[in-house]
Chain A
Amino acid sequence: MTNTRIPGLGERPPVEFTFASRSVVAQAGDSIAMALWATCDLTLRQSSRDGAPRGVLCNMGICYECLVVVDGVTVRACTTLVRAGMHVELGGKP
C-alpha cells in the first residue's frame, strides 16, 4: 500500500534505497521520513521501554522521534535527504 503524492507538483528523478532490507523508490529531494511516509512505513524506531512503535512527530528536526540508522549512523529521518543506494534500518533509543 502506498500513500500518494499530491498531483500536479511535478515529478522529481527517482532515487532507490533500502529500508529494513526492502527496496523503496523515492524522489530526489524527499527526506527519508517523507519517502517512507509515501510508502506507508510510519514506524521508524521502537521505544526502548516497551518496544512500542514510534514515528514522525515534528517533521522539522526538533523531537528526535524519527531516528533511523543509515549505513550504520543514527540520523533524524525528517532532516536527512534520501540518497541512492543508502541502507536505512529502524532506529532504537534516541
Chain B
Amino acid sequence: MSADRVLQADVGIVGAGPAGMAAANVLAAAGLRVVVLDEGHRAGGQIFRQLPVGSHNAGAIAEPPSHHHGHALLATFDQSRVTLRCGASVWDARPGRLWFEQDGASWLLRCRHIVLAPGAYDRCIPFPGWTLPGVLTAGALQVMVRGFGIVPGKRAIVAGSGPLLLPTVTALLSAGVHVVAALEASSRWRALRALPGVLGNGARLSEAFWYARQLLKAGVRLRWGWTIFGCEGDGRVQRAIIGKVDRSGRPRRETAQTVDVDVVGAGFGLVPSIELGLHLGCTSRWHEGGAGHALVVDAEQRTSVENVFAAGEICGIGGAEVAMAEGHLAAHAVLHAVRGTAVPVAVRKKARRERGAADAMLRAFAPLPGLHELAQADTVVCRCEDVTLATAQAAAALYGSSLRAIKVGCRAGMGPCQARICGPSLQALAGREPTRAMDLPVVQVPLKAVRSETIVNAPPA
C-alpha cells in the first residue's frame, strides 16, 4: 500500500557525502527531523566511501591524511538521530517533496526544506575503444577498490586530467595493481595555475605532498601532456595506445606507443549532478572553466527556489573540504529559515575561502578542447543509443549543433543516462565547436531510470 510508503521530516537531504552529512549533523543536533536519501549502500559519498558492512580497512588501502575529517564526520553522522535511507534513488522532486525508489518500492518524503547534495560524476571524453569492457572511468576504479575491496586487474593505465587522477593511482597501488603509466593531459605549466589555490591552503598542500610521496614510493611518474589515444582488445581491453598531446590537448599521433594492460581508468574531471536542481527549477550557471553547469546559490547556499538549498559539488566542483564547509553553511541557512537564528559569520567565511581555493584548481585543469580529436568517425560517442561520431556530426550538420538538435537528429543523449555521459562532450564533438559552452541538459522524470511500477505506484504529493 502506498500509504505506508510516505515519510515526514523537517528537512530532506539528497546525498550522504561530505556535504549532505555535514548538513545533517548540524540539523539533527539542533533537534530537527532529518531524512537523508542516498543511492549508495552506505554513507560517505564519493570520497569517504565505506566498504560493505563486515569489511574494515585497517590500513590495507592507503588513505590521505585529510580522510580523518571523513572518519570524524561519519562517526558523528552514525551517532546522530538522522534517518538514513540507503539504496534510495531520488527520481522526482518538487519543493517540499522527494520521490524515491528503494528495494524496488516507491516512496515519498514530505519535507518542508530540501538540501541538495548529490555530488558529481566523472567527465568522459570518447576515444576509440572506450566501450571495451575493462575501460572504466577513473572514479569507477576508486569505487571498486575503496568501496568493494576488489582488485581491478594486473596492469593498469590511468589517463585524464585533474586532481582525481592521483587518488585513482593510489587506490590501484593499494590493490597491488601495476600502474604502467599515469597520464595527465594538462602540461606541467598549465597546472601551475592551480598553485595559488593550493599554496594558500595547508590542507590541500599536505594532501598534494602525500599523493606525490605515494607515487614516488611506487616508482610511478605522472606524465604531463600525455593521454590515452585508444584501446584495443578481443572482448575486453588488452592494449592501450598512449601518446603526447599539444598544449590545446590535440593528439600528436607521431608519439603514439602501445602498452599491454588489462584495465584502464579514464577521467577528465567531474561534472556536477545538477539534474534534480534543474528539475526543481533552480537557476544554474555555466562554469567558465568549462567544467559544466552548476547550481547558483546565494552567500548562504540558498538556490533560486524557496526552501531548496544546495551544497558541495552540485554548486561547482571543489572537493571534500568545500563540500563539508558548504553543507555546514546550508544547515545554518535552514536553521535561519526555521527558527530565525543568525548564520555564524565564521561558517560563511570558511565556505567562501574553500570555494575560492577550489576554483583556482578548476581553472588549471579545465577540459582541453583538443582532446575531442581523440574520437574517430566510427567511435561510439553516445553509448546508450550506440551513435557514432560520424552519425552525430551528420546530424549536427543537418539540424544544428544545439544539444536538442543533435538529439532529435540522431538520438544521441536520448538513452537512460539522459546524456550524463555523452552530453558534456557531444556538442564539442558533433558540432566541431570544442570551446563552446554546452547547452543545459534537458532533464526528464524519472531522473533516474526506475521501474515503471515505481512511477505508477508513486504516493501522491
Which residues of A, 73-92, contact B by the 8 Å Cβ criterion?
Answer: 73, 78-79, 81
- By secondary structure, the B interface counts as loop
CA distance A31 to B54 in the complex (A): 14
Please state if A34 and B384 are interface contacts (CB–CB under 8 Å).
no
Contacts of A8 in B (CB 8 A): 58-60
CA distance A49 to B383 in the complex (A): 10
- Asked whether A6 and B136 contact (CB < 8 A) given A61-B89, A62-B417, A64-B416, the answer is no
Please state if B144 and A57 are interface contacts (CB–CB under 8 Å).
no
Q: B51 within 8 Å of A by Cβ?
A: yes
Please state if B121 and A58 are interface contacts (CB–CB under 8 Å).
yes
Q: A23 within 8 Å of B by Cβ?
A: no
Residue-by-residue, is A21-46 near B (CB-CB < 8 Å gives 1, otherwise 0)? 00000011111001001100011100
User: Which residue of B56, B87, B137, B451 contacts A58 across the interface (Cβ within 8 Å)?
Assistant: B137
* B46, B137, B451 interface centre (most CB from chain A within 10 Å): B137
Which residues of A, 52-77, contact B by the 8 Å Cβ criterion?
Answer: 52-65, 73
- Asked whether A94 and B89 contact (CB < 8 A) given A6-B60, A58-B122, the answer is no
Q: B196 within 8 Å of A by Cβ?
A: no
* A11, A44, A79 interface centre (most CB from chain B within 10 Å): A79
Q: B175 within 8 Å of A by Cβ?
A: yes
CA distance A47 to B131 in the complex (A): 10
- Chain A nearest CB from B79 CB (Å) reads 22
Interface size bucket, A side? 35 or more
Q: Number of B residues whose C-beta is below 8 Å from A?
A: 58
Please state if B174 and A60 are interface contacts (CB–CB under 8 Å).
no
Please state if A55 and B133 are interface contacts (CB–CB under 8 Å).
yes
Please state if B150 and A38 are interface contacts (CB–CB under 8 Å).
yes
CA distance A22 to B365 in the complex (A): 45
Please state if A65 and B383 are interface contacts (CB–CB under 8 Å).
yes
CA distance A62 to B419 in the complex (A): 10
Contacts of B448 in A (CB 8 A): 61
Contacts of A56 in B (CB 8 A): 133, 136, 140
Which residue of the partner chain A has the closest CB to B60?
Answer: A8
- Asked whether A49 and B60 contact (CB < 8 A) given A55-B133, A59-B140, the answer is no
- Chain A nearest CB from B276 CB (Å) reads 13
Please state if B53 and A60 are interface contacts (CB–CB under 8 Å).
no
Q: B41 within 8 Å of A by Cβ?
A: yes
CA distance A14 to B373 in the complex (A): 46
- Chain A nearest CB from B279 CB (Å) reads 16
Binding site for A on B (CB under 8 A): 39-41, 46, 51-61, 87, 89, 104, 121-122, 124, 131-137, 139-141, 143-145, 147-153, 174-176, 235-236, 380, 383-384, 386, 415-417, 420-421, 448-449, 451
Could you list 9 A-B pairs, sorted by A, with CB under 8 Å? A6-B176, A8-B58, A10-B56, A31-B148, A58-B137, A59-B136, A62-B420, A63-B421, A94-B417
Q: List 10 additional contacts besides A31-B148, A59-B141; criterion CB under 8 Å.
A: A3-B152, A9-B149, A12-B53, A12-B55, A53-B235, A57-B140, A62-B121, A79-B87, A94-B415, A94-B417
